[in-house]
Amino acid sequence: MNYQEFCHQLIELVGGKENIQSVTNCMTRLRFKLKDRSIAKTEEIKDLPDVIDVVSNDVAYQVIIGTQVQDIRPEMNQILGLSGENVKSESGEKEKFVTMALRILSEAMGPILTPIMAAGLLAGILSLISLSGLVSAESSTYLILDAIRQSVFFFLPVLIAISFSRQLGVNEYLAVVIALTLMSESINGAKGLDFLGLKLPETTYSNSFFPIILSIIFMKYLTKALEKIIPKALQYFFNPVLILIITLPITLILFGPLGTYIGDGLNFVFDFIGNTFGSWSVVMLYAALQPFLITIGAGNFIIPIFMNSYATLGYDPVFTAAWIISDIAVCGAVMGYFFRSKDKKQKQLFGTTAFSAFMGVTEPAIYGVFVKYRRPYIAVMIGGGLGGLFAGLMKVVGYAPVGLFGLASFIGKDNYSNFYMMVIAVIIGFIGAGIAAFVLGIPDDDKVKEKQAVSVETGEEAVTKLLVKAPVKGTNVALSKVNDKAFSSSALGKGLGIEPEEDTIYAPVDGEVVSLFPTNHAIGIKTEYGVEILIHIGINTVELDGKHFESFVKQGDKVSAGDAILKANMAEIRNAGYDPVVITVITNTADYLDVLPSNDPSLNNEEDCLTVVV
C-alpha cells in the first residue's frame, strides 16, 4: 500500500470516515460525497504533497491528484471498507439508483468510445477512397468494410452491456444475452407484441441508448436479491435463468419505454435550445468552456448526451465538433505560449503539452499550463468560442465521436460542405487561441500563485518535465507491442521498446544506479528528482544467466547521460532464440502527470525517447 499514509491524512482532513458517504474517481481526481462539506479542511488538503488542487461544487467534493489516482482509490476503498462500486445513498432507493446511473455513465463510456471512434475513422477513410474513385461505394469491398461501421452502431447495446456489466459487477455474459435478445428480429422494432396478455410498446432497441443501461442496473439488484432468497446449493443452476426471465420482460415493459422517453427528452431539450437560441450557442459555449469543465471535473457530463444523439439521430449536432475545436484551441493556446516564451524549460513544457493536446490528450496542458498560468483559459474561450460559433452557424454535425485525426468522418455520406466548414472551424480555433495566448502573455513566475511541482526527496522546486534519452540506437517499438505482458500492459510503468542496432547500452539520464541484476540484463537508475528508470534488455533473457552481458557500472555508482553502462551481444542473444528488444520504462509513472514516448521511428542515444511530465 504505497499511499496508505496519504489516504489516512486525506480521510482525516475531509472529516473522517463518518463524513464520507461515497468516493469515486475519474482519470485525475477523487470525487467525495460528504455529509458536511463545511468541516473539510480544504486548504490543508491542498498542501498535501500528492494534491494538485481541490474543487468543491455541485458535482462533488473533488480532490485533483493526477493519474496516480488509479492506484490511490483501491487503497482508499480498503481503508474505508467500501465495495468496488463505492455506492452509498443518503436516503431512499430512488436517489441511490439515479446516483449509480450517473456515475457509471462516465466510468463505463471510455472502452465503448474506442470501437465507435474506430468506426468513425473508417467512415471517413471510406468517404475519401470513394471520392478518389479507387473503390466504388457500390462495390463489395466498400460494403464489407462499411459493415464494420454499421455493426458498431447497430450493436451498440451489446457494447454497452459488456462495459456497464463490468463496472457494476454483473455477469457480463447474461448482460450480453439480454442485449442480443433485445436486438433480435422478434423484438427489435417489432409491432403488436404482448407478454402474458400485456401489450408491449414498439421499441427499436438498436437506436436506443438507455434501456440496456437500466436493465443492467436492475440486474445488479436482482442478482443480490436472488442470492439472499435462493439456497446457495441451487444458485448456480437457477439464478442465471431467473435473472434472464425476470429482467427481459421488465425491460420490455418498463425500461424500453422509459429509456426511449429519456432519449427523446434529451433530443427535445436540444431542439428547444436550437429553435429558441440557436444550436450555435451551445457549440460556441462548450468549445469555449471545455478546459474549465475538465478542471472542475464536469467534462464527462456530455457523454450520455452525444451518445444518445448518435443512437437516435445517427449524428451529433453539437458536442463532437465543439470538443475537437476546443482541443485544438488548447493546442493553439499552448503553442502561443511556446512562441512567446524565451525560457528553455518553459518552451519544453509548452511544446510537449501542445503536442499532447494536438493528439487529443489535453490534460497535461490543462493541469501543467492552464491551472498554473490561468490566462490560457481566456485564450481558449476566445479561439474555441470563435471556432465553435462558426461551426454552429454553419450547422456542422459529427457522424462519429472522433478526434482531430478523424476529421474525414465529418464527410459522412458525401456531405463535403460539412467537412469543409469543420476544417475552417478548427483552423479558426487554433489560430484564434494561439494569437490570444501570445497577446495575453505569460505571467512572471513570482506572480504565479499556483503550487509548483516539488521534488519528493528534496522539497525544492523541481523541473516541470524530464527528458529521457534513448539507451541504445535502434527502431522505436510501442510498449504495447512488446512480447511481455508485464511490460506491454504498462503494469511496470509507461515507456517504450527499442529494437537494438548496436550492443552498447548508455545511461539515458543523470542519476544513480539503484539496482543492477546479477545477470546484468537489467538496470535501474534514479534521477535527483526521483524519477525511477528501468532498462531491461530482452525478453526472458534472465534465463541466459548473464551470458552475453557485461556491466561497466555497479550499484551505487553515479552516471551521466550518455555514459556506457552495459554491453550485450545482441547477435548472440538472437542466436540463442531470445528477443533482444531493449525496454525502457518509468517504474514510478504514477508519481507524475504523464509519461510520453517519442513518435520517432528510429532513435539513438543522443535523442530523447521519453518525456516525464511532472
Cβ atoms 559, 510 nearer than 8 A: yes
d(CA 470, CA 562): 9
Q: Please write the tens of the pLDDT for every residue from 276-298.
A: 666 788 889 888 988 887 765 55
The residue behind cell 436482482 is 222
Cβ atoms 347, 328 nearer than 8 A: no
d(CA 35, CA 61): 11
**What is residue 329's predicted lDDT score, i.e. its pLDDT?**
94
Asked if residue 328 has pLDDT above 90, the reply is yes
Q: What is the DSSP string of 427-488?
A: HHHHHHHHHHHHHH----GGG--SPPPB-TTT-SB--SEEEEE-SSSEEEEEGGGSS-HHHH
CA distances for 289 relative to 44, 218, 250, 386, 586, angstroms: 29, 35, 40, 12, 33
Q: Which three cell numbers stand for residue 290?
A: 471545455
Q: What does the radius of gyration of the chain's CA atoms come to, in whole angstroms?
A: 27
Active-site annotation holds for 331: no
- Alpha helix segments (H runs only) across 319-415: 319-340, 344-358, 363-365, 371-373, 375-393
Classify 4-88 by CATH class.
Answer: alpha beta
Asked if residue 446 has pLDDT above 70, the reply is no
Where in the chain are the domains? Answer: 4-88, 95-270, 277-447, 465-613
End-to-end CA separation in angstroms for the chain: 22
Cβ atoms 497, 478 nearer than 8 A: yes
Cβ atoms 216, 241 nearer than 8 A: no
Question: ∠ at Cα 235 (233, 237), nearest 5°?
Answer: 95
d(CA 177, CA 158): 9
Classify 465-613 by CATH class.
Answer: mainly beta
Out of 213-217, 443-447, 569-573, least confident range = 443-447
Indicate the burial class of 528 (C-beta count within 10 angstroms; 0-12, 13-18, 19 or more): middle
Q: Please write the tens of the pLDDT for every residue from 354-366.
A: 887 887 777 678 8
CA distances for 466 relative to 301, 334, 347, angstroms: 34, 18, 13
The 3-class secondary structure across 361-378, one letter per residue, is CCHHHHHHHHHHHCHHHH
* Beta-strand pair 608-613/532-537: unpaired
- Tell me, rounded to whole angstroms, the distance of Cα 155 from its chain centroid: 23
Nearest by Cα to 380 from 430, 340, 442: 430
**What is residue 300's predicted lDDT score, i.e. its pLDDT?**
59
Q: Kindly state the average pLDDT of the residues 523-534.
A: 89
Q: Which three cell numbers stand for residue 312?
A: 437516435
* % of the chain beyond a pLDDT of 90: 27
Count of other CB atoms within 10 angstroms of residue 284 = 24
Cβ atoms 595, 499 nearer than 8 A: no
Q: Kindly state the average pLDDT of the residues 38-53.
A: 82
Long-range contacts formed by 100-103: CB under 8 A, 24+ apart: 100/168, 100/217, 101/213, 101/214, 101/217, 103/24
Asked if residue 234 has pLDDT above 60, the reply is yes
Asked if residue 450 has pLDDT above 70, the reply is no
Q: What confidence category does residue 27 fall into, taking pLDDT thresholds of 50, 70 and 90?
A: low
**What is residue 495's predicted lDDT score, i.e. its pLDDT?**
92
Greater pLDDT, 123 or 148: 148
Length of the chain: 614
d(CA 72, CA 41): 20
Computed over every residue of the chain, the mean pLDDT equals: 81
Q: What confidence category does residue 110 fall into, taking pLDDT thresholds of 50, 70 and 90?
A: low
Q: Kindly state the average pLDDT of the residues 85-91.
A: 38
Q: Kindly report the backbone phi and psi dihedral angles of residue 31, in degrees, each rounded to the nearest multiple of 5, phi listed first.
A: -110, 110
**Residue among 7, 26, 331, 609 flagged as catalytic:** 26
- Report field, pTM of the whole predicted structure over 0.95: no
Q: E-assigned strands of 217-287?
A: none
Out of 242-251, 300-309, 485-494, least confident range = 300-309
Count of other CB atoms within 10 angstroms of residue 270 = 19
Q: Which three cell numbers stand for residue 435?
A: 494569437
d(CA 558, CA 509): 10
Q: Please write the tens of the pLDDT for every residue from 371-406.
A: 778 889 999 999 999 999 999 999 898 887 777 777
